[in-house]
Structures are given as C-alpha cells and as structure tokens.
C-alpha cells in the first residue's frame, strides 16, 4: 500500500478520525471496545470495522483474543506518529 493510500485508509472517515483522536489523547493507554464506543459514540459494528481497518494499516495495535481485544495508538508507525504530532500542534485536545 502506498503512503497516500495508507493515509486515506486510516483517516478517510469521520469514525476512524474520532477513534484515532480518542486514542491520541493518551497513546500509551489500551482501550477496550466498550470504552471506545462510549468515548466516540460510534455504533459497535462500525467501530469494529473501523478498528479492523486501522489495525490493517498499522495505525493502532491490537492485543488479546477476539472477545476481549484491547487497542492503542501505534506510535511506532511514522505516519501515525506524524498524525499524533499534528493533533498536538493544532491544539486539537484543548478544552476551549
């Protein structure tokens, strides 16, 4: 997959952007599906599909078995790390 295709696949939808933004608040935190659903207000089926797509691009890491998987932001992926820096640089997380 080319870098352009990877970026479009990773942040090419509102749901995937919301997931990445939620995880980027604390990139070291492992998220359960329920916690992400609560944080992002994304339907469970769409959330599952979006997480799968993000994991296939290696923008997030997955851990555990199918019913008890946990996810976190993959800071070792250079493009994902750049996206994280971008969110911080534009003050995306400020409460104003």
For 42-79, how does the pLDDT look when each residue is reduced to its tens digit (9 = 90+)?
999 999 999 999 999 999 999 988 778 999 999 999 99
Mean pLDDT, all residues of the chain: 91
CATH class of 3-89: mainly alpha
Supply the pTM of this predicted model.
Answer: 0.88
53-57 long-range contacts, CB within 8 A, separation 24+: 53/9, 53/10, 53/16, 54/10, 54/16, 54/19, 54/20, 56/9, 57/1, 57/6, 57/9, 57/10
Residue 82 has a pLDDT of 95
How far is residue 76's CA from residue 45's CA, in Å, rounded to a whole number?
A: 27
């Amino acid at each position: 997959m080319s870098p352009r295709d990877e970026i479009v696949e990773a942040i090419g939808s509102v749901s995937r952007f919301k997931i990445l933004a939620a995880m980027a608040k604390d990139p070291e935190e492992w998220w359960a599906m329920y916690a992400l659903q609560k944080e992002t207000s994304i339907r469970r089926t769409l959330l599952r599909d979006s997480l799968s797509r993000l994991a296939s691009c290696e923008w997030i890491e997955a851990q555990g078995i199918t019913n008890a998987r946990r996810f976190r932001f993959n800071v070792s992926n250079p493009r994902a790390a750049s996206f994280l820096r971008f969110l911080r640089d534009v003050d995306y997380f400020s409460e104003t």
